[in-house]
Amino acid sequence: MIALPNDDNSCGWYAALAPAAPVKKLKGSQTADYAIIGAGFAGLAAARRLAELKPDARIILIDAQRVAEGASGRNSGFVIDLPHKFSLEHPDAAHKQKLLSLNRAAISQLQGLVERFNIDCQWSAVGKYQGAVGERGEAHLQHFEHLMKDLGEPYRWVEKEELKGVLGTDYYSRAIFTPGSYLMQPAALVRGMGENLPENVELLEQSPIRHLEKQDGKWVLKGDEGTIQTPKLLLGTSIFTKEFGYLKNRLLPVMTFASWTRPLSDLEMKHYTGQLNWGLTPADHAGTTLRMTADRRILIRNTYKHVPKYGANISDDIRRGIHDEHRKAFLARYPEFESVPFTHTWGGVYAISRNFTNFFGELENGVYASACDNGVGAAWGTISGTLLADLAVGADSQSLRDIQYVTGMPSLNPPEPFLGMGVKFRIALAKWQSRSEL
Protein backbone atom coordinates (compact mmCIF):
# COMPACT_ATOMS: atom_id res chain seq x y z
CA MET A 1 0.00 0.00 0.00
CA ILE A 2 1.49 3.30 -1.11
CA ALA A 3 1.16 6.04 1.51
CA LEU A 4 0.19 9.26 -0.23
CA PRO A 5 0.93 12.89 0.61
CA ASN A 6 -1.25 14.08 3.45
CA ASP A 7 -0.58 17.82 3.50
CA ASP A 8 -2.61 20.35 5.46
CA ASN A 9 -4.88 22.77 3.64
CA SER A 10 -3.40 25.88 5.25
CA CYS A 11 -0.35 26.73 3.13
CA GLY A 12 -0.24 30.50 2.89
CA TRP A 13 1.68 30.55 -0.39
CA TYR A 14 -0.97 28.39 -2.10
CA ALA A 15 -3.88 30.25 -0.54
CA ALA A 16 -2.51 33.52 -1.96
CA LEU A 17 -2.84 32.22 -5.53
CA ALA A 18 -5.82 32.71 -7.79
CA PRO A 19 -8.06 29.64 -8.16
CA ALA A 20 -6.43 26.91 -10.22
CA ALA A 21 -7.60 25.95 -13.69
CA PRO A 22 -9.87 22.89 -13.98
CA VAL A 23 -8.01 19.71 -13.15
CA LYS A 24 -7.20 16.99 -15.67
CA LYS A 25 -7.01 13.54 -14.08
CA LEU A 26 -5.75 10.13 -15.15
CA LYS A 27 -8.57 8.19 -16.77
CA GLY A 28 -8.52 5.01 -18.83
CA SER A 29 -5.51 3.18 -20.26
CA GLN A 30 -2.69 5.49 -21.32
CA THR A 31 0.68 4.86 -22.93
CA ALA A 32 3.67 7.16 -22.82
CA ASP A 33 7.27 7.14 -23.97
CA TYR A 34 8.20 8.61 -20.59
CA ALA A 35 6.21 8.95 -17.39
CA ILE A 36 7.20 11.16 -14.46
CA ILE A 37 5.67 10.86 -11.01
CA GLY A 38 5.79 14.02 -8.93
CA ALA A 39 5.16 17.52 -10.33
CA GLY A 40 7.41 19.50 -8.01
CA PHE A 41 10.65 21.22 -8.95
CA ALA A 42 12.32 17.96 -10.00
CA GLY A 43 9.40 16.53 -11.95
CA LEU A 44 8.63 19.77 -13.77
CA ALA A 45 12.28 20.19 -14.76
CA ALA A 46 12.53 16.59 -15.93
CA ALA A 47 9.40 16.91 -18.05
CA ARG A 48 10.61 20.10 -19.71
CA ARG A 49 14.03 18.69 -20.45
CA LEU A 50 12.64 15.43 -21.84
CA ALA A 51 10.35 17.42 -24.12
CA GLU A 52 13.35 19.40 -25.41
CA LEU A 53 15.43 16.29 -26.01
CA LYS A 54 12.58 14.17 -27.42
CA PRO A 55 10.12 16.57 -29.09
CA ASP A 56 8.20 13.72 -30.74
CA ALA A 57 7.82 11.68 -27.55
CA ARG A 58 4.65 11.50 -25.49
CA ILE A 59 5.46 12.50 -21.91
CA ILE A 60 3.06 12.22 -18.98
CA LEU A 61 3.72 14.12 -15.75
CA ILE A 62 1.45 12.97 -12.94
CA ASP A 63 0.90 14.05 -9.34
CA ALA A 64 -1.32 12.95 -6.46
CA GLN A 65 -2.14 16.61 -5.71
CA ARG A 66 -2.51 19.84 -7.61
CA VAL A 67 0.74 21.43 -8.73
CA ALA A 68 2.12 23.65 -5.92
CA GLU A 69 0.08 21.96 -3.18
CA GLY A 70 3.01 19.74 -2.18
CA ALA A 71 6.47 20.37 -0.78
CA SER A 72 7.72 22.50 -3.68
CA GLY A 73 5.04 25.10 -2.98
CA ARG A 74 5.55 25.05 0.79
CA ASN A 75 9.16 26.14 1.31
CA SER A 76 10.23 29.57 2.53
CA GLY A 77 10.87 30.94 -0.94
CA PHE A 78 14.68 30.81 -1.14
CA VAL A 79 16.63 29.63 -4.17
CA ILE A 80 20.13 29.32 -2.75
CA ASP A 81 23.30 29.17 -4.81
CA LEU A 82 25.68 28.18 -2.02
CA PRO A 83 25.92 24.53 -0.99
CA HIS A 84 24.29 23.67 2.30
CA LYS A 85 26.41 24.33 5.39
CA PHE A 86 27.15 20.63 5.85
CA SER A 87 28.23 20.36 2.22
CA LEU A 88 30.46 23.41 2.68
CA GLU A 89 32.40 21.38 5.24
CA HIS A 90 33.14 18.66 2.68
CA PRO A 91 36.90 18.03 2.48
CA ASP A 92 36.90 17.81 -1.34
CA ALA A 93 37.15 21.29 -2.89
CA ALA A 94 35.99 19.95 -6.27
CA HIS A 95 32.85 18.56 -4.64
CA LYS A 96 31.90 22.00 -3.33
CA GLN A 97 32.65 23.79 -6.58
CA LYS A 98 30.55 21.34 -8.55
CA LEU A 99 27.62 21.84 -6.16
CA LEU A 100 27.94 25.59 -6.54
CA SER A 101 28.01 25.32 -10.32
CA LEU A 102 24.94 23.06 -10.35
CA ASN A 103 22.97 25.37 -8.07
CA ARG A 104 23.79 28.39 -10.21
CA ALA A 105 22.76 26.52 -13.35
CA ALA A 106 19.40 25.87 -11.67
CA ILE A 107 18.97 29.53 -10.77
CA SER A 108 19.76 30.56 -14.34
CA GLN A 109 17.25 28.05 -15.64
CA LEU A 110 14.50 29.22 -13.29
CA GLN A 111 15.15 32.87 -14.07
CA GLY A 112 14.92 32.11 -17.77
CA LEU A 113 11.52 30.47 -17.29
CA VAL A 114 10.23 33.34 -15.15
CA GLU A 115 11.24 35.85 -17.82
CA ARG A 116 10.13 33.76 -20.80
CA PHE A 117 6.64 33.04 -19.44
CA ASN A 118 6.23 36.19 -17.37
CA ILE A 119 5.57 34.16 -14.21
CA ASP A 120 4.38 36.50 -11.45
CA CYS A 121 6.18 34.95 -8.47
CA GLN A 122 8.04 37.83 -6.78
CA TRP A 123 11.30 36.58 -8.33
CA SER A 124 14.10 38.79 -7.08
CA ALA A 125 17.90 38.73 -6.91
CA VAL A 126 18.30 40.24 -3.46
CA GLY A 127 20.75 37.85 -1.79
CA LYS A 128 20.34 36.37 1.68
CA TYR A 129 21.23 37.22 5.26
CA GLN A 130 22.42 34.61 7.72
CA GLY A 131 21.66 36.01 11.14
CA ALA A 132 22.83 35.49 14.72
CA VAL A 133 20.90 36.40 17.86
CA GLY A 134 23.68 35.92 20.42
CA GLU A 135 27.03 34.31 21.14
CA ARG A 136 26.07 30.84 19.91
CA GLY A 137 24.87 32.23 16.59
CA GLU A 138 27.90 34.46 16.21
CA ALA A 139 30.19 31.47 16.69
CA HIS A 140 28.36 29.78 13.82
CA LEU A 141 28.82 32.91 11.71
CA GLN A 142 32.57 32.90 12.37
CA HIS A 143 32.66 29.31 11.13
CA PHE A 144 30.58 30.27 8.09
CA GLU A 145 33.03 33.08 7.30
CA HIS A 146 35.86 30.54 7.32
CA LEU A 147 33.90 28.33 4.90
CA MET A 148 33.23 31.29 2.59
CA LYS A 149 36.91 32.20 2.51
CA ASP A 150 37.80 28.59 1.75
CA LEU A 151 35.27 28.51 -1.07
CA GLY A 152 36.42 31.87 -2.44
CA GLU A 153 32.90 33.30 -2.47
CA PRO A 154 31.90 36.91 -1.75
CA TYR A 155 30.27 37.83 1.55
CA ARG A 156 30.14 40.75 3.94
CA TRP A 157 29.40 41.27 7.62
CA VAL A 158 26.30 43.27 8.51
CA GLU A 159 26.42 44.79 11.97
CA LYS A 160 23.50 45.36 14.31
CA GLU A 161 22.42 48.87 13.30
CA GLU A 162 22.59 48.23 9.56
CA LEU A 163 20.79 44.92 10.06
CA LYS A 164 18.05 46.65 12.04
CA GLY A 165 17.53 48.99 9.10
CA VAL A 166 16.89 45.99 6.86
CA LEU A 167 14.87 43.77 9.19
CA GLY A 168 13.01 46.40 11.16
CA THR A 169 14.00 44.71 14.44
CA ASP A 170 17.03 44.86 16.74
CA TYR A 171 16.60 41.21 17.75
CA TYR A 172 19.68 40.12 15.80
CA SER A 173 23.25 40.98 16.76
CA ARG A 174 25.01 40.45 13.42
CA ALA A 175 24.64 38.74 10.07
CA ILE A 176 26.62 37.69 7.04
CA PHE A 177 25.18 38.71 3.68
CA THR A 178 25.79 36.60 0.59
CA PRO A 179 24.66 38.03 -2.77
CA GLY A 180 23.87 34.97 -4.89
CA SER A 181 20.52 33.79 -3.50
CA TYR A 182 17.13 34.62 -4.97
CA LEU A 183 13.72 35.00 -3.35
CA MET A 184 10.37 34.00 -4.84
CA GLN A 185 6.81 32.95 -4.10
CA PRO A 186 7.25 29.18 -4.39
CA ALA A 187 3.67 28.16 -5.09
CA ALA A 188 3.34 30.84 -7.78
CA LEU A 189 6.62 29.79 -9.39
CA VAL A 190 5.76 26.09 -9.42
CA ARG A 191 2.25 26.67 -10.73
CA GLY A 192 3.59 29.01 -13.40
CA MET A 193 5.99 26.33 -14.62
CA GLY A 194 3.17 23.78 -14.61
CA GLU A 195 0.99 26.06 -16.71
CA ASN A 196 3.71 26.54 -19.33
CA LEU A 197 4.92 23.03 -20.08
CA PRO A 198 5.89 22.03 -23.65
CA GLU A 199 3.09 20.76 -25.89
CA ASN A 200 4.22 17.13 -25.76
CA VAL A 201 3.94 17.02 -21.96
CA GLU A 202 0.56 16.05 -20.54
CA LEU A 203 0.03 17.08 -16.91
CA LEU A 204 -2.35 14.95 -14.83
CA GLU A 205 -3.20 16.10 -11.30
CA GLN A 206 -5.13 14.71 -8.34
CA SER A 207 -4.24 11.30 -9.75
CA PRO A 208 -2.43 9.23 -7.11
CA ILE A 209 -0.54 6.18 -8.29
CA ARG A 210 -1.57 3.33 -6.00
CA HIS A 211 0.53 0.53 -7.46
CA LEU A 212 3.59 0.10 -9.65
CA GLU A 213 4.56 -3.12 -11.45
CA LYS A 214 6.41 -4.38 -14.47
CA GLN A 215 4.60 -6.23 -17.27
CA ASP A 216 6.18 -7.45 -20.50
CA GLY A 217 9.20 -5.23 -20.07
CA LYS A 218 7.20 -2.06 -19.40
CA TRP A 219 6.19 -0.26 -16.24
CA VAL A 220 2.52 -0.03 -15.38
CA LEU A 221 1.35 2.77 -13.12
CA LYS A 222 -2.07 2.06 -11.62
CA GLY A 223 -4.30 4.85 -10.41
CA ASP A 224 -7.88 5.03 -9.18
CA GLU A 225 -9.44 5.50 -12.62
CA GLY A 226 -6.72 4.58 -15.06
CA THR A 227 -3.28 3.21 -15.86
CA ILE A 228 -0.15 4.40 -17.64
CA GLN A 229 2.18 2.02 -19.46
CA THR A 230 5.70 3.26 -20.18
CA PRO A 231 9.16 1.84 -20.88
CA LYS A 232 10.84 4.57 -18.83
CA LEU A 233 9.77 6.00 -15.49
CA LEU A 234 11.27 9.01 -13.72
CA LEU A 235 10.57 9.56 -10.02
CA GLY A 236 10.55 13.15 -8.81
CA THR A 237 9.02 11.95 -5.59
CA SER A 238 11.63 12.85 -2.96
CA ILE A 239 10.66 11.24 0.36
CA PHE A 240 7.82 9.30 -1.32
CA THR A 241 10.32 7.36 -3.44
CA LYS A 242 10.40 4.77 -0.69
CA GLU A 243 6.65 4.22 -1.11
CA PHE A 244 7.40 2.69 -4.51
CA GLY A 245 9.86 0.25 -2.94
CA TYR A 246 13.09 2.15 -3.62
CA LEU A 247 15.64 3.53 -1.15
CA LYS A 248 13.71 1.90 1.66
CA ASN A 249 15.22 2.49 5.11
CA ARG A 250 17.51 5.17 3.65
CA LEU A 251 15.35 8.32 3.72
CA LEU A 252 14.10 10.22 6.77
CA PRO A 253 10.81 12.15 6.47
CA VAL A 254 11.02 15.46 8.30
CA MET A 255 8.44 18.22 8.35
CA THR A 256 9.24 21.86 8.97
CA PHE A 257 6.63 24.53 9.64
CA ALA A 258 5.97 28.16 8.83
CA SER A 259 3.44 30.84 9.71
CA TRP A 260 2.83 34.22 8.18
CA THR A 261 0.82 37.34 8.75
CA ARG A 262 -1.67 39.06 6.54
CA PRO A 263 -0.13 41.91 4.52
CA LEU A 264 0.72 44.84 6.78
CA SER A 265 -1.56 47.84 6.31
CA ASP A 266 -0.36 51.28 5.23
CA LEU A 267 -0.64 52.45 8.84
CA GLU A 268 1.33 49.46 10.12
CA MET A 269 4.00 50.07 7.51
CA LYS A 270 4.54 53.52 9.00
CA HIS A 271 5.63 51.78 12.22
CA TYR A 272 7.80 49.26 10.39
CA THR A 273 11.36 50.56 10.19
CA GLY A 274 12.83 47.95 7.86
CA GLN A 275 12.76 47.14 4.16
CA LEU A 276 10.55 44.95 2.02
CA ASN A 277 11.54 41.74 0.26
CA TRP A 278 14.40 40.19 2.21
CA GLY A 279 15.15 36.77 3.65
CA LEU A 280 17.18 35.66 6.65
CA THR A 281 18.21 32.14 7.54
CA PRO A 282 19.60 31.25 10.97
CA ALA A 283 23.31 30.98 11.61
CA ASP A 284 22.43 28.07 13.88
CA HIS A 285 20.62 25.65 11.58
CA ALA A 286 17.97 24.84 14.21
CA GLY A 287 17.10 28.52 14.63
CA THR A 288 14.43 30.63 12.95
CA THR A 289 14.08 31.58 9.30
CA LEU A 290 12.56 35.03 8.81
CA ARG A 291 11.18 36.77 5.72
CA MET A 292 9.46 39.98 4.79
CA THR A 293 7.76 39.33 1.47
CA ALA A 294 7.36 41.80 -1.35
CA ASP A 295 3.65 42.02 -0.49
CA ARG A 296 4.28 43.00 3.17
CA ARG A 297 3.84 39.66 4.94
CA ILE A 298 6.19 38.59 7.73
CA LEU A 299 6.98 34.88 7.68
CA ILE A 300 8.44 32.84 10.55
CA ARG A 301 9.75 29.31 10.04
CA ASN A 302 11.08 26.96 12.69
CA THR A 303 9.99 23.73 14.42
CA TYR A 304 10.89 20.33 13.01
CA LYS A 305 9.05 17.04 13.38
CA HIS A 306 9.86 13.45 12.40
CA VAL A 307 6.80 12.33 10.41
CA PRO A 308 6.97 8.64 9.37
CA LYS A 309 3.28 8.89 8.38
CA TYR A 310 3.75 12.30 6.77
CA GLY A 311 0.92 14.75 7.42
CA ALA A 312 -1.04 12.13 9.33
CA ASN A 313 1.42 12.60 12.19
CA ILE A 314 0.35 16.23 12.67
CA SER A 315 -2.91 16.77 14.55
CA ASP A 316 -4.79 20.04 14.98
CA ASP A 317 -3.49 20.23 18.54
CA ILE A 318 0.11 19.91 17.34
CA ARG A 319 -0.47 22.57 14.69
CA ARG A 320 -1.97 24.94 17.28
CA GLY A 321 1.10 24.41 19.46
CA ILE A 322 3.36 25.20 16.51
CA HIS A 323 1.32 28.32 15.79
CA ASP A 324 1.88 29.44 19.38
CA GLU A 325 5.65 28.79 19.13
CA HIS A 326 5.81 30.85 15.96
CA ARG A 327 3.78 33.59 17.58
CA LYS A 328 6.27 33.79 20.43
CA ALA A 329 9.17 34.09 17.97
CA PHE A 330 7.29 36.72 15.97
CA LEU A 331 6.48 38.91 18.98
CA ALA A 332 10.06 38.65 20.26
CA ARG A 333 11.10 40.33 17.02
CA TYR A 334 8.12 42.60 16.36
CA PRO A 335 6.27 43.37 19.61
CA GLU A 336 4.75 46.45 17.98
CA PHE A 337 2.71 44.15 15.72
CA GLU A 338 0.93 42.25 18.48
CA SER A 339 -2.40 43.07 16.84
CA VAL A 340 -1.31 41.62 13.48
CA PRO A 341 -2.58 38.02 13.27
CA PHE A 342 -1.15 35.00 11.55
CA THR A 343 -3.44 33.93 8.75
CA HIS A 344 -1.82 30.57 7.96
CA THR A 345 0.38 27.97 9.64
CA TRP A 346 1.55 25.08 7.48
CA GLY A 347 4.05 22.27 7.19
CA GLY A 348 5.97 20.62 4.38
CA VAL A 349 7.69 17.23 4.23
CA TYR A 350 11.17 16.74 2.86
CA ALA A 351 13.76 13.96 2.85
CA ILE A 352 17.08 13.92 4.64
CA SER A 353 19.70 11.18 4.91
CA ARG A 354 21.93 10.29 7.83
CA ASN A 355 25.09 10.71 5.74
CA PHE A 356 23.76 13.88 4.09
CA THR A 357 23.99 12.30 0.65
CA ASN A 358 21.59 12.95 -2.22
CA PHE A 359 20.55 10.10 -4.50
CA PHE A 360 20.62 10.56 -8.26
CA GLY A 361 20.60 7.82 -10.84
CA GLU A 362 19.00 4.68 -12.23
CA LEU A 363 17.34 2.52 -9.58
CA GLU A 364 16.76 -0.41 -11.89
CA ASN A 365 16.32 -0.89 -15.61
CA GLY A 366 14.07 1.90 -16.84
CA VAL A 367 13.50 3.60 -13.46
CA TYR A 368 15.35 6.82 -12.62
CA ALA A 369 15.14 8.99 -9.53
CA SER A 370 16.39 12.10 -7.84
CA ALA A 371 15.62 11.78 -4.14
CA CYS A 372 16.67 13.30 -0.85
CA ASP A 373 17.32 17.02 -1.28
CA ASN A 374 18.40 17.39 2.38
CA GLY A 375 16.39 20.59 2.76
CA VAL A 376 17.57 22.65 -0.23
CA GLY A 377 14.95 21.63 -2.76
CA ALA A 378 14.31 24.51 -5.16
CA ALA A 379 17.71 24.67 -6.83
CA TRP A 380 18.57 21.01 -6.31
CA GLY A 381 15.21 19.77 -7.55
CA THR A 382 15.46 21.89 -10.66
CA ILE A 383 18.95 20.85 -11.71
CA SER A 384 18.63 17.21 -10.65
CA GLY A 385 15.35 16.83 -12.53
CA THR A 386 16.87 18.37 -15.64
CA LEU A 387 19.90 16.09 -15.56
CA LEU A 388 17.79 13.03 -14.72
CA ALA A 389 16.13 13.52 -18.10
CA ASP A 390 19.58 13.63 -19.72
CA LEU A 391 20.47 10.37 -17.99
CA ALA A 392 17.22 8.71 -19.09
CA VAL A 393 17.80 9.47 -22.77
CA GLY A 394 21.53 8.74 -22.73
CA ALA A 395 22.72 12.33 -23.20
CA ASP A 396 26.07 13.41 -21.80
CA SER A 397 27.32 16.69 -20.42
CA GLN A 398 29.76 18.09 -17.89
CA SER A 399 26.82 18.94 -15.62
CA LEU A 400 25.66 15.32 -15.70
CA ARG A 401 29.12 14.12 -14.79
CA ASP A 402 29.23 16.75 -12.02
CA ILE A 403 25.98 15.63 -10.42
CA GLN A 404 27.09 12.02 -10.56
CA TYR A 405 30.32 13.10 -8.83
CA VAL A 406 28.55 14.77 -5.90
CA THR A 407 25.76 12.23 -5.30
CA GLY A 408 25.72 8.74 -3.88
CA MET A 409 23.72 6.31 -1.79
CA PRO A 410 22.02 7.54 1.39
CA SER A 411 23.11 5.43 4.33
CA LEU A 412 20.88 2.81 5.90
CA ASN A 413 18.78 3.81 8.89
CA PRO A 414 18.56 1.76 12.07
CA PRO A 415 15.33 -0.21 12.48
CA GLU A 416 12.27 1.08 14.28
CA PRO A 417 11.61 1.91 17.04
CA PHE A 418 15.25 2.96 17.43
CA LEU A 419 15.13 5.20 14.35
CA GLY A 420 12.14 7.20 15.55
CA MET A 421 13.55 7.50 19.05
CA GLY A 422 16.90 8.67 17.71
CA VAL A 423 15.46 11.24 15.30
CA LYS A 424 13.14 12.69 17.92
CA PHE A 425 16.01 12.93 20.38
CA ARG A 426 18.25 14.68 17.85
CA ILE A 427 15.52 17.18 16.96
CA ALA A 428 14.77 17.88 20.63
CA LEU A 429 18.47 18.24 21.42
CA ALA A 430 19.02 20.66 18.52
CA LYS A 431 16.03 22.72 19.64
CA TRP A 432 17.35 22.89 23.21
CA GLN A 433 20.87 23.77 22.10
CA SER A 434 19.55 26.47 19.77
CA ARG A 435 16.98 27.89 22.18
CA SER A 436 18.85 31.20 22.45
CA GLU A 437 18.69 31.60 18.65
CA LEU A 438 14.99 30.91 18.24
The tens place of each residue's pLDDT in the chain, 438 residues long, gives 689 999 999 999 999 999 999 999 999 999 999 999 999 999 999 999 999 999 999 999 999 999 999 999 999 999 999 987 788 999 999 999 999 999 999 999 999 999 999 999 999 999 999 999 999 999 999 999 999 999 999 999 999 999 999 999 999 999 999 999 999 999 999 999 999 999 999 999 999 999 999 999 999 999 999 999 999 999 999 999 999 999 999 999 999 999 999 999 999 999 999 999 999 999 998 899 999 999 999 999 998 899 999 999 999 999 999 999 999 999 999 999 999 999 999 999 999 898 989 999 999 999 999 998 766 789 999 999 999 999 999 999 999 999 999 999 999 998 887 788 888 888 888 888 888 888
Q: 330 and 279: one domain?
A: yes
Q: 425 and 325: one domain?
A: yes
Q: 245 and 327: one domain?
A: no
| Residue 232, CA distances (Å) to 3, 33, 51, 247 in order | 23, 7, 14, 18
Is 381 contained in some domain? yes
Q: 229 and 163: one domain?
A: no
In which domain, by residue range, is 237 found? 12-73+188-251+355-419
The CATH number that applies at residue 380 is: 3.50.50.60
The structure's pTM equals 0.96
Q: 426 and 339: one domain?
A: yes
Q: 175 and 257: one domain?
A: yes
Q: Could you give the strand order of the β-sheet that contains 298-306, starting from the edge strand earlier in sequence?
A: 156-159, 174-178, 128-132, 278-282, 289-292, 298-306, 252-261, 342-352
